[in-house]
Amino acid sequence: MFGINDRLLDAAILMIERTHRVGHLATDELAGMLAGSEAPLLFDVRTAEEYEKSHIATAVRLDPDIDSDAFEVRYGNLVVGRDLVFYCSVGQRSSELLERVESVCGKAGAKSFRNLRGGIFRWYNEGKPVVDASGMTDEIHGYDPIWGMMIERR
């Protein structure tokens, strides 16, 4: 049985997927990719404060407001031949950013570029690991009190 947190998160995911026509990746699929020999390039599309509290290991923080030109200059060479996964709290900011940069990713030769379905909240709620500067942590930034209601506290 799903709790209120999961139902709220599922509703947010449904809204995001209906409004943003980008590719989405399930958390289990990402976990498998991270355990494989060719890990994807992860972009955490949250504020510095959110990222510092916790993030998925190996993720590179990407300013949610970066434009496609700045993304191309900074990351164009890094994305060649790579699977790219963008995430934020639940997927709204990362979907918006992916919409802005997906043509750049394609032209640069990225293998794939998708949004993490449910973002770090779904990842965390499923018990998957998050880290901070000191290593593993059980803390996560709730973004704000309303969005924070979607988190299953550990």
pLDDT of residue 133: 95
Map out the domains of the chain with their CATH numbers: 41-148 (3.40.250.10)
The pLDDT tens digits for 42-95 are 999 999 999 999 999 999 999 999 999 999 999 999 999 999 999 999 999 999
pTM of the shown model = 0.94
State the amino acid at position 149 in one-letter form: M
Looking at the predicted structure, is the pLDDT value of residue 6 above 50?
yes
The b/e string for 44-57 (b: 16+ C-beta within 10 A; e otherwise) is: bbbbeebbebbbbe
In the chain the first and final C-alpha atoms are separated, in Å, by: 18
On whether the CB atoms of residues 79 and 109 are closer than 8 A, the answer is yes
Looking at the predicted structure, is the pLDDT value of residue 151 above 70?
yes
pLDDT band at 1; cut points 50, 70, 90? very low
On whether the CB atoms of residues 45 and 62 are closer than 8 A, the answer is yes
Distance separating alpha carbons of residues 49 and 54, to the nearest angstrom = 9
